[in-house]
Amino acid sequence: MSAARTRRTHSAPPGSRPAPPARAGFREALAFEWIKFRSVRSTVRTALAAAALPPVGAVFVAATGSLQDDDTVLGGSLTLSVVGQMLAAVLGALLITGEYAHGTLRTTLAAVPRRATVLAAKATLLAALLWALALASCSVAYLVGDALLPDGERPQGEPLPALFGIAASFAVAGLLGLAAGTLVRHSAGAVTTVVGLLLLPSLFGPLFGGAERWIAGISPTAALEKLTQTSDASADAVGSLGPWPSLALVTACTATLLGAASMTLRRRDV
Amino acid sequence: MIEATGLTKRYGDKTAVDGLTFTVRPGRVTGFLGPNGAGKSTTMRLVLGLDTPTSGRVTVGGRPYPALSAPLRTVGSLLDAKGVHGGRSAYDHLAGLAAGNRIPRRRVEEVLESVGLPPDTARKRVKGFSLGMGQRLGIAAALLGDPEVLILDEPVNGLDTEGIRWIRELMRSLAAEGRTVFLSSHLMSEMELTADHLIVIGKGRLMADTTMRAFIESHSGAHTLVRSPQPEELRALLEAAGARVHVTPRGGWRVEGPDAGTIGDLAREHGLALHELTPAHASLEEVYTALAQDEAEYRTEAAR
């Protein structure tokens, strides 16, 4: 490296540089997060796996005929959407724990020191991406299941507007993962935590007697199962709250947790 | 310009940075010197707003770092060779940072060229980079926003001699353009060659804030290396004249007090032959060690 080459790109003395630029805010942070997301294999692959699972599940269920008689076509086609949703939650966790693991969070926060903006950008990217991917993936899964399953043997289920809610439950699961990842910081711990948050309410809900309909309905998985109108979505398993109220409850809880995560991130040293 | 006032950081009952007050001025390279664990990296994280000070404050260009509108266009920093995701390409790493601070994309190619990372290498995943290439990428990220202030933590760590020389010249040319360059190192010899001004810390406390030359002169106590075929006579003579005389590893005398001229005259007056008469300064290394020792002794005394 010659000194002359170095000097050429830094020739402007500080005094003659143009006026300071407009404030870099949320839009810039979002663009930054998008580049980070698409330039690493692990995040892209996790997102693609989450989107691939529901159609694969529909083919599998139709091919093996492994459906209960009282299940709906919609519910049967979306059997694997629960696992896809879990991957969505894992993706959310990785979006921030990956930064801790690779030491890039310091780089990120040096570029965008307003930490709430960083987390908001991550949340926006994640929610938009998961909603769009899940909507496409679950619609395809339903169409595949509908085409492959024999006609007239079982109730159809109502795909609309349920599919929009199903896609939203993926986004909410992702945000729950992001909140857990921000609070826990380590990938393994965050993934364990968020999978627990998805599964435990329906396991422990029945222990809470009268509060069961709230407790069991508090997981994004419960909301998803109710929206898919599967026969698994019994009141025992996922609470007796209706599908949309359940989704609203889960969204509110996730938003609260994300707010707590944002406050923690702002206070913590990195 | 970086200004720290009473900057203090405690982790539990451990004080990492203890009431630091200093100013880093533009147009020169300011070295930030201290042994490992002295609090250099903590101080730099405090400057960048990554850690919150327990008390005191620090500003960059008159504002706290988190209040900067597009920080990379004011301050470029290199904290350690990590800070880059191994699975991402160098180009994408810089493109992300550029997007986050409204820096035009063409700057990415410019800085990659200026640090000597070829385009095909820049498109490869950083995982395969050597330590030197990783450090060049870190410098490229620091230069991306064409910042007035550069903050670099141990930039020559792990570099070969050519890389070290490159960084040294780069720092000096950036300072010559009127930028503020703040550079930490635990390598005294490197500082001696690169920095104009020195801020020295030990155990989180300020030990010196002065020009390089003044630092060495005021703390080294210039001395003279002397050899004579009649060593004991010379020693007695010098000590009688009030000089402090120590034996050197090479078998001569290290004389503190009288300068070379005075010693030469004294020897001639008493008919003693001299085979060597060399004025010398302590290296930064020796000065730092002495300074650290004084500090340790002072603390031991104070503790009693």
Do B254 and B199 share a structural domain? no
Give pLDDT tens digits along chain B (304 positions): 999 999 999 999 999 999 999 999 999 999 999 888 889 999 999 999 999 999 999 999 999 999 999 999 999 999 875 688 999 999 999 999 999 999 999 999 999 999 999 999 999 999 999 888 999 999 999 999 999 999 999 898 878 888 899 999 999 999 999 999 999 988 777 888 899 999 999 889 998 899 988 887 777 667 889 999 999 999 999 999 888 998 988 888 989 888 889 999 999 999 999 999 988 877 666 777 777 777 666 666 665 5
> Which residue from A11, A102, A112 is facing B100, i.e. has the nearest CB?
A112
The two tokens of residue B154 are 């141990």
Partner A, chain B 150-169, Cβ-Cβ below 8 Å: 166, 169
Do B275 and B142 share a structural domain? no
- Name the CA radius of gyration of chain B, rounded: 24
Q: B66: closest CA among A34, A99, A118?
A: A118
B88 touches chain A (CB under 8 A): yes
Q: Do A9 and B114 touch (CB under 8 A)?
A: yes
Q: Which of B194, B218, B242 is the last residue of a domain?
A: B218
Look at residue A218 in the predicted model and tell me its pLDDT: 83
B77 touches chain A (CB under 8 A): yes
Q: Of the given ranges (A19-23, A55-59, B209-213), which has the lowest mean pLDDT?
A: A19-23
| DSSP-assigned letters across all residues of B11-43 | ETTEEEEEEEEEEE-TTEEEEEE--TTSSHHHH
Residues B262, A100: Cα–Cα separation, whole Å: 63
What CATH number corresponds to the domain at position B260? Answer: 3.30.70.870
Residue A78's pLDDT band (cuts 50, 70, 90): very high
Do B247 and B261 share a structural domain? yes
**Amino acid identity, residue B16?**
A
**Amino acid identity, residue A257?**
L
Do B191 and B168 share a structural domain? yes
Residues B167, B159: Cα–Cα separation, whole Å: 9
Residue in B closest to A17 by C-alpha: B146
Do B232 and B212 share a structural domain? no
Q: Do B49 and A113 touch (CB under 8 A)?
A: yes
Residues A201, A254: Cα–Cα separation, whole Å: 14
Do B249 and B198 share a structural domain? no
Report the number of distinct structural domains present in chain B. 2
Residue A183's pLDDT band (cuts 50, 70, 90): very high
C-beta atoms surrounding A270 within 10 Å? 18
Residues A100, A104: Cα–Cα separation, whole Å: 6
| Contact predicate B77/A110, CB 8 Å | yes
Partner A, chain B 17-76, Cβ-Cβ below 8 Å: 26, 45, 48-52, 65-66, 68-75
Strands in B253-256's sheet, in edge-to-edge order, are B244-247, B253-256, B223-227, B276-280
Is residue B295, in this structure, part of any structural domain at all?
no
Question: Over 50: is that where the pLDDT of A12 sits?
Answer: no
Do B230 and B140 share a structural domain? no
Residue A14's pLDDT band (cuts 50, 70, 90): very low
Is residue B303, in this structure, part of any structural domain at all?
no
- Complex confidence, ipTM: 0.88
Do B237 and B139 share a structural domain? no
Do B121 and B92 share a structural domain? yes
Distance between B175 CA and the closest CA of chain A, angstroms: 10
Residue A1's pLDDT band (cuts 50, 70, 90): very low
Is residue B294, in this structure, part of any structural domain at all?
no
Is residue B30, in this structure, part of any structural domain at all?
yes
Do B155 and B113 share a structural domain? yes
Do B273 and B243 share a structural domain? yes
Look at residue B303 in the predicted model and tell me its pLDDT: 59
Q: How far apart are the first and last CA of chain A?
A: 34
Do B119 and B156 share a structural domain? yes
Is residue B293, in this structure, part of any structural domain at all?
no
Q: Do A113 and B71 touch (CB under 8 A)?
A: yes
> Which residue from B70, B85, B179 is facing A23, i.e. has the nearest CB?
B70
Is residue B292, in this structure, part of any structural domain at all?
no
pLDDT averaged over every residue in chain A: 88
Peptide linkage before A161 cis (omega within 30 of 0): yes
Residues A81, A56: Cα–Cα separation, whole Å: 10
What are the pLDDT digits (tens) for A136-154? 999 999 999 999 988 877 8
What CATH number corresponds to the domain at position B13? Answer: 3.40.50.300
Domain that holds residue B234: 222-280
